[in-house]
Amino acid sequence: MNKLKSYFALLFVTGLLSSCSSYDRSDFTTDRTNKGDMYNILYYASLSGSSHNSQPWRVEVYKEDSILVFTDSLRKLNVIDPKEREFYISIGAFIENLNLAAGSYGYNTEIRINNAVTDKNIPTATIKLSKCKKTDFQISDIEKRRTLHTAFDTTEIKGNDLEALIKSAPENIHYAPSSFINGKYVKKNTINSYAQQAKNKEAQDELAKWFRFSNRDVKEKRDGLTTSGLDLNGLSGFVVRNFFNPEDSKKESFVNKAIEKTQMQAENCAGWIIITQPKNDIEAWINSGRLYQRVNLKCRKLSLGFQPMNQMIEEKNYESEANSFLDYKGTIHFVARIGYVKDYPDPVSVRRPVESFTTFK
């Protein structure tokens, strides 16, 4: 009897301990040593950011020289992204990581985008790879990139750092300091549009489908928004992980807490990165996704926290006003807050394994 009691006590303690910490990326490592270059390149591609961590890609690999990238329509966010802009921005981020990783493995890429994808069986991108000298891109930069939800420093960004962020595409990448009129506008309208979206029942239903609160869900799905990925640490992370289910995220108290947190985030940054494009089609969205990924990678190198906050352009009534008030050339595709952070934590958001989105032909 005593043995049985200690067995159950041990089970209880083990369960309690494992629910104390959230499963994160470090819990799902794969030995990639003998998997080949294509597998490794796709692993790094998959570490790109995506809206709600939906990871909406599917891939076919033909020998060592071509990769077809498809979208996975089951992973669309129809409520907050009906025009599919963010869907393709996420694909663009994947392609950018793929391109950088390929270079570092010694492959040149020739990327062709199909701007009129009408069928899920037609690839969005066809990527031809040819052997070349390895680039000096440090692949570990991809492993370190992340979205950060904590407060950032509000001190001005240094001129050199700003130049490094913008110089690859000054026509498309803009910076609005928080203390300037455009920055103040983005802050106010990000908070208000977030509150509007957070109270919208359809957006709540959609978001709830991507929450992975319990460790069991994280392990099973390896996508979506986890407590650690949202930087919900300590006691609040423990409570959400163990006592909340995704449906609870629709309750007024939860929604109000999320609005409060968004306000804190919008108020605690040095300024806003805004990506624009002259066009509004698949290719332009993919280009914005590639720029987003590049800026996020660069921010990490410069100890600048980076958090996409796109609600101002997701909510239709805010979007048109923002485009005319901010008056950049082209349309706004992407908004993110940035600011220096002292201790940059390691990335924690989880990813599906390469095998789950890839067919090797």
CA torsion 99-105-109-111 (nearest 10°) is -30
The β-bridge relationship of strands 225-226 and 211-212 is parallel
Cα–Cα distance for residue pair 85/275, rounded to 1 Å = 13
Neighbours of 215 (CB within 10 A): 19
Closest separation in Å from C-beta 233 to ligand FMN: 14
Interface with ligand FMN, residue 221, by CB under 6 A: no
Q: Which is nearer to ligand FMN, 144 or 250 (CB)?
A: 144
Closest separation in Å from C-beta 342 to ligand FMN: 18
Beta bridge partners of 332: 276
Closest separation in Å from C-beta 7 to ligand FMN: 39
Which of 38, 69, 77, 89 binds ligand FMN (CB under 6 A)? It is 89
Closest separation in Å from C-beta 37 to ligand FMN: 23
Fill in the amino acid letter for 325. Answer: F
Interface with ligand FMN, residue 229, by CB under 6 A: yes
Give the contact letters, 284-313, x = binds to ligand FMN (CB under 6 A), - = no: -----------------------xxxx---
Closest separation in Å from C-beta 128 to ligand FMN: 25
Q: Which is nearer to ligand FMN, 87 or 107 (CB)?
A: 87
Give the contact letters, 32-71, x = binds to ligand FMN (CB under 6 A), - = no: -----------------xxxxx------------------
Interface with ligand FMN, residue 193, by CB under 6 A: no
CA 135 to centroid of chain Cα atoms: 25
Exposed, middle or buried, 145 (CB in 10 Å: 0-12/13-18/19+)? buried
- Say if CB 32 and CB 90 are below 8 A apart: no
H helical segments located in 21-66: 37-45
Counting residues that bind ligand FMN (by CB under 6 A) gives 20
Interface with ligand FMN, residue 86, by CB under 6 A: yes
C-alpha dihedral sign at 102, 103, 109, 111: positive
Interface with ligand FMN, residue 347, by CB under 6 A: yes
- Say if CB 176 and CB 271 are below 8 A apart: yes
Cβ burial 112-136 (10 Å sphere, 16+ → b, else e):
ebeeebeeeeebbbebebeeeeebe
Tokens representing 74 are 């089951």
Give the contact letters, 112-141, x = binds to ligand FMN (CB under 6 A), - = no: ------------------------------
Closest separation in Å from C-beta 352 to ligand FMN: 12
Cα–Cα distance for residue pair 81/51, rounded to 1 Å = 9
Closest separation in Å from C-beta 184 to ligand FMN: 19
Tokens representing 24 are 């994160």
Question: Taking CB positions, which residue lies at the least distance from ligand FMN?
Answer: 49
Which of 76, 128, 144, 149 binds ligand FMN (CB under 6 A)? It is 149
Q: Which is nearer to ligand FMN, 107 or 197 (CB)?
A: 197
Q: Which is nearer to ligand FMN, 210 or 340 (CB)?
A: 210
Give the contact letters, 316-345, x = binds to ligand FMN (CB under 6 A), - = no: ------------------------------
Which of 71, 287, 349, 358 binds ligand FMN (CB under 6 A)? It is 349
Calculate ∠ Cα 99-68-309, nearest 5°: 55
Which of 59, 67, 93, 142 binds ligand FMN (CB under 6 A)? It is 93
CA torsion 279-281-284-290 (nearest 10°) is 150
Beta bridge partners of 211: 225
Site residues (CB under 6 A) for ligand FMN? 49-53, 86, 89-90, 93, 146-147, 149, 225, 229, 307-310, 347, 349
